[in-house]
Amino acid sequence: MPINGDLGALLLLGYDAKEQAIFGKLESALMDSIPICLERRLSSSELEESDDDDVFPATLFCNTCGHVDKKNQSKAVLLINRLKGSSCMGSLDLPHASSLKGGTETFLRNVFENILKTYLRKNPTAKTIWELVQSVDNEKICYDHFTFRTFKVDGYGIESLSSFFMDYGYKIGGGLDFPKKKLRVLWFSPPDVLVPYDGHGLGNGPLPRLVIAEVIVDELSPESQVIIKKYLKPEGGKQAVLSSTLGSLIWEKPTWTDFKQLAKESEFAAWALIHGYTMNHLAFSVHRLKHRFSDTRCVKEYLEERGFELNSDGGTLKVSEDGLLLQVASISERLAVEFSDGVTETIPASYIEFTQRLVLPQFRHLPHDQIKEYHRRDGFDFDNAENILESARFTSDV
């Protein structure tokens, strides 16, 4: 089976026709000179000695395990780990470079960094937990998802935020409806990007999922609709991402009277009216942590021992029906806010969450170092999500 060009180096013995067809579509996406090891179907010595183009067009160099490309050391190429894992590849993924039509990956990551900075600046308790996690065992963090709240009216709904991120390769992963809360939620899966073995945070770690919720304004009472529409100006939703990065409301700050009236019907809507597009909460990716926080049970015990208030709705440790999604969330701290009519009241701000995604049953036979994110439980669970929504619950006197 003669194989031509660098792409041919991807076609290892044992790959079937379907896999080879997939590889064939990847030529334009290959990165330049990324030295990683092809799966070790042959021993190191066999690779070094092989001149048979039916096996490999050239022996390749791997700067991790020491395989050497005697023919052309500068032409090491990328093997797709979505089909076959390799111990030398770590968490390296092929970036869908062509899907980032909105701009560069660096710009997208900078947007996320500023959204995070705004969230931490506005939420001291969440920031304390965020710092604490990283201080223990010098932990390197990754994020599971970032969550936002919006209004489904006059261009302010889910699309006001999602359209920006979809230009960078985000895709709708699924949704949840909460009729009693007059709420709709969509979550978005991130594009595959190149992640170094030790990639973490927003600088070079995996991109977070996005969870965007919207209040279905037309299903609220006429009184609540009037309050919301009084503040939301036409075309303002176009500034959603900028609002989220700056932490500034697009509309005028509401009065305490309007806020209190709206909260009687929908605490979710009242929260969105005063906080706008500021991130509602972030979730750590627990299964990507390396040390004591790599299990949600340990996270729960650690936070409780240090006096942090955790959401106990449905149990402090929230487990999905299939047992594969485990979540722990804090309770939103209450911060003093001055409303436009001069009244100052304490109201719920944002909170922080820990999410652990277990390996799907069909992949449990894989060695630990070959487990990737797509081998784990994806999406969200209705009951877990409904209970976590209560983390920003208002008290009865609002």
- Going along the chain from its start, the domains and CATH numbers come out as 1-89 (no CATH), 105-392 (3.10.180.50)
User: DSSP label at 133?
Assistant: H
End-to-end CA distance of the chain: 73
Task: Say how far apart CA 249 and CA 217 lie, in whole Å.
Answer: 18
Task: Return the closest-CA partner of residue 376 out of 395, 389, 363.
Answer: 363
Q: What is the pLDDT of residue 296?
A: 95
Locate tokens 């990507």: which residue? 288
Q: What is the pLDDT of residue 74?
A: 34
Residue 68: pLDDT band by 50, 70, 90 thresholds? very low
Task: Say how far apart CA 60 and CA 67 lie, in whole Å.
Answer: 7
Rounded to 5°, the CA angle 227-232-233 comes to 135
Least confident stretch, 5-14, 139-148, 259-268: 5-14
Mean pLDDT of 218-237: 96
Q: Which amino acid, residue 317? A: L
Q: Give the tokens for residue 287.
A: 């299964």
The pLDDT tens digits for 88-102 are 323 323 333 345 666
The pLDDT tens digits for 173-198 are 999 999 999 999 999 999 989 899 88
